[in-house]
Structure 1
Amino acid sequence: MTEIGGNNPGHTIALPGRAEQTYTFAWAAGTHTGHRRAANEDSYVARSPMFAVADGMGGHSAGDLASAAVVERLDDAITGDFLPARAVERALERATDYIGLIAQDSELGVGTTVTGAVITEHHEAASFAVFNVGDSRVYNFEDDQLVQVTRDHSVVQNLVEAGLISRDEAEVHPDANIITRAIGFNAAPAPDFWMVPIQRDQRLLICSDGLTREVPDEEIARLFMQRLSPDETVAKLIDFALESGGRDNITTIVVDVLEIPSAT
């Protein structure tokens, strides 16, 4: 488990070259081993403009090393208040090279999921560049609606999209843990990206599947409607997952948009 960054109740940035165009964010992050795992192989970075969660695979310490490699390379990519999506791709390429070295003595291979959002400049405004590899997730909460931004790279997601099983059936399917894309396993990284405009009162949730396997989207949405602070929300999400069984490592980041530039 590697934790980079931490809670911040208010952080303001300005668009490059436009000091009057400011955005203010608040965020919090937390992780827990859960009730059944011997170790926590999740890692995260929560330091503006980079927010990401990685869920390692490989057994023993290998999964932890893989997830740490990803968040450390993402953190290394930070060079200012805004980053292009390409910086994420380059960081994942560097992490893949390092994971290849870790995996040399592993018969089963070593890898990790990664999902997150980076604050970037897009069309003369700030946006979240959301990225994903694997089955960790990013959700967007606006106007009391919780929407999953990312698409799971998993066997059951493919079955859902083919109309063979329902989304509810996917959550309890015997192949629910099988993913189709990861960082590592001697494969070039292939992240998906989505551009999400930044709006006032918006909230992002970035989490490992240790949360979403235990806590339904509807329960997450009800909690978000309470408008608790990011740190209170993170604590409650982890508590909910533990109360529901805590079968896996649980990691969550909550990012709130407090202020955006006034319309002109």
Structure 2
Amino acid sequence: MVRKANEDSLRAQAPVFLVADGMGGHARGDAASQTVVRVFEEHIESGAPSTPERILDAIHSSNDAVRDLSTAGDVGTAVSGTTLAGIAFVDAGADSGCQWMVFNVGDSRVYSWEGDRLHQVTVDHSAVQEMVDAGLLDPQHAESHPERNVITRAIGADEYVDADVWLLPAAKHQAFLICSDGLTKELDDDQIARLLASHTGEDGPSTADVLVEAALGNGGHDNVSVVVVRAMIS
């Protein structure tokens, strides 16, 4: 409702679901997020489980491709960059079988939804999160802190990208929420959980659309991108 350009991009096609949020105020933020989606589409075969190694390769290749968008001499806010958060259905090998691989760089988030409880899987790579972890800032004050938009990791920011990764056992019924911070800046976890519980997406608008509209209704100060994954494994 405020920004003139949408710097978010997403992919919602098995086995990979992701959201990338181009760094606001930086050069070519929209191109950076779009580049991540393109690289994943080139690296990951659709419709079949991937592997942890292929997902990591796509993350590192995305970092290289986004860095190529910046020109020699670009520094600070002139450097192209984007967050990246997502999940992938992967075959982790004979001993582990198929699992969900959660990955994150920046402050876009992945949540798991257990029907009555919302759990944030990823940890924000942000200045305020570091202050919270160090006991210097109350979590309730994080969203109003003047440095709330400062992220400490991003695709394209450094020559080597340090992504956080989790492997979660694949259960018969699971649900995940992937979103840019445009959602979480407008709705707290309790509000998100109530909307997830009351909208299944089976009738009427999708759950993702309901969440986006709620965030826009609360002000929509940033681009809002949401992917809701409901998985049933036979």
- Count residues with an aligned counterpart: 226
Query: What is the aligned partner in structure 1 of residue 52 from structure 2?
Result: 85
3-state DSSP of counterpart to 2:221: coil
User: In the TM superposition, what whole-angstrom CA distance separates every residue of 1:147-169 from its partner, at most 9, and x where no partner exists?
Assistant: 00000001110111111112111
**Aligned match of 1:109:** 79
User: Please, which moves more after superposition, 77-86 or 241-250?
Assistant: 77-86
Instruction: Judge conservation of contact 2:89–2:101 (CA < 8 Å) in 1.
Output: yes
Secondary structure class of the residue paired with 1:73: helix
2:156 matches 1:184: yes
What does residue 96 of structure 1 align with? 63
- State percent identity of aligned pairs: 42
Q: Which residue of 2 aligns with 1:253?
A: 227
**1:45 corresponds to which residue?**
11
Question: TM-score normalized by structure 2?
Answer: 0.90
Tell me if the contact between 2:26 and 2:81 (Cα under 8 Å) persists in the aligned partners: no
For residues 16-58 of structure 1, the C-alpha deviation after alignment (integer angstroms, 9 at most, x for no partner) is xxxxxxxxxxxxxxxxxxx110100000111100101000026
Q: Give 3-state SS (helix, strand or coil) of 1:52's partner.
A: strand
Please provide the CA RMSD for this pair: 1.8
Unpaired runs of 5+ residues, structure 1, are 1-34
Native 8 Å contact 1:135 1:179 kept in 2: yes
| Cα distance in 1 between the residues matched to 2:26 and 2:196 | 35
Change (3 A) 1:150 1:48: same
- Runs of 5+ in structure 2 lacking a partner? none
Are the counterparts in 2 of residues 83 and 120 from structure 1 also a CA contact under 8 Å?
yes
1: CA distance, partners of 2:24 / 2:198: 38
Q: How does 1:29-68 map to 2 (within 5 A)?
A: 35-57=1-23, 59=25, 62-68=28-34
Letter in 1 for 2:82: T
More strand as a share of residues: 1
Note if 1:139 corresponds to 2:106. Answer: no
Counterpart position of 1:8: none
The structural deviation recorded for 1:143 is 4.2
Structural mapping, 1:196-215, within 5 Å? 196-215=168-187
Ranked by relative contact order (alpha carbons within 8 Å, sequence separation 6 or more), the top structure is: 1
Please, which moves more after superposition, 52-61 or 232-241? 52-61
